[in-house]
Amino acid sequence: MTLTFDHDVPNVVEAGQRERTPALALRRVSKRHGAGASAVVALDGVSLTVERGEFVCLVGASGCGKTTLLSLVAGLDQPTSGELEVNGRTALMFQEPALLPWRSAAQNVELALKLRGVPRRERHDRAVELLRLVHLADFVDKAPHELSGGMRQRVALARALAQEADILLMDEPFGALDAITRDVLHDEIERIAHEQQLTVLFVTHNVREASRLGDRIVLLSSRPGRVVEEFAVDVQRPRRIESPQVSAIAATVTTRLREEVRRHAH
């Protein structure tokens, strides 16, 4: 679907189901919160195309509009102006797993299946299958408080996958985890994205994480968010976060990010 926005009035046009259409495309998208002198411009004229099956990481200083951009793609908010094209179902995964504490791991995943209209008799088996996909087959009946932080994020990932999304939107999903757990989950999301042929738009403050995971890194300016530069990550998979190639790309992106932060500090 293509949404064109101008002066807060949407015009909805069905996109053709062409094989070569991108997973998503933003064309001069802006987002303003509020009105008048107190208005805050979160995004300003952002143009970005993400191809099907691509893993794109968004980096930038706090408050640069990364989360706002995900919310627009997910349909939780609308651009003030510009054109937004999303070709496929989206699922949004947050930094916090936000599991229902009175439901088991499987029941949390089943809730997403219920909302999709999956028949009751099929939900449990499908939930178990998804938990097995994220290596939690032995924790199906465990409550969230019985799981580690990394395990809870795996349940949240299984719940996102239960939505049968084509495009997975991830908002700093591993930011609160320790380094080793985060590294393990990097392997998992890379494997699942490849196996499920997912398109991933991944927000992170961690430049090394972006270099480890992304096919491409998109750097946003400080508020208002604009696309400043894009970096292709031409490193063979599987990757290690400590590898010299990943470190070299991370150093390049970090240098550019520091320049951008300094520029807006004056």
Mean pLDDT of the chain: 88
Q: Quote the tokens at residue 153.
A: 């994020």
The region of weakest confidence among 18-27, 76-85, 215-224 is 18-27
Whether 6 has a pLDDT exceeding 70, the answer reads no
Of 60, 82, 87, which Cα lies nearest the Cα of 8? 82
Amino acid identity of 51? E
Of 7 and 206, more confident: 206
CA separation for the pair 98, 196 (Å, rounded): 24
pLDDT digits (tens, 9 = 90+) for 218-262: 999 888 889 999 999 999 988 899 999 999 999 999 999 998 888
All CATH 3.40.50.300 domain ranges of the chain, comma separated, are 2-89+165-265
Share of the chain above pLDDT 90, in %: 69
- Is-contact 227 48, C-beta < 8 A? yes
pLDDT digits (tens, 9 = 90+) for 30-65: 999 887 778 888 999 999 999 999 999 999 887 788
- CATH code of domain 2-89+165-265: 3.40.50.300
pLDDT digits (tens, 9 = 90+) for 100-159: 999 999 999 999 999 889 998 899 999 999 999 999 999 999 999 999 999 999 999 999
Is the pTM higher than 0.85? Answer: yes
- Is-contact 29 45, C-beta < 8 A? yes
| Kind plus residue range of the DSSP H or E element containing 109 | helix 105-115
- 101: cis peptide before it, omega within 30°? no
CA separation for the pair 59, 46 (Å, rounded): 14
pLDDT of amino acid 265? 64
CA distance between the termini of the chain: 41
pLDDT of amino acid 19? 57
Mean pLDDT of the 153-169 span: 94
Residues in Cβ contact with 229 at an 8 Å cutoff, skipping those fewer than 6 apart? 219, 256
- Is-contact 58 201, C-beta < 8 A? yes
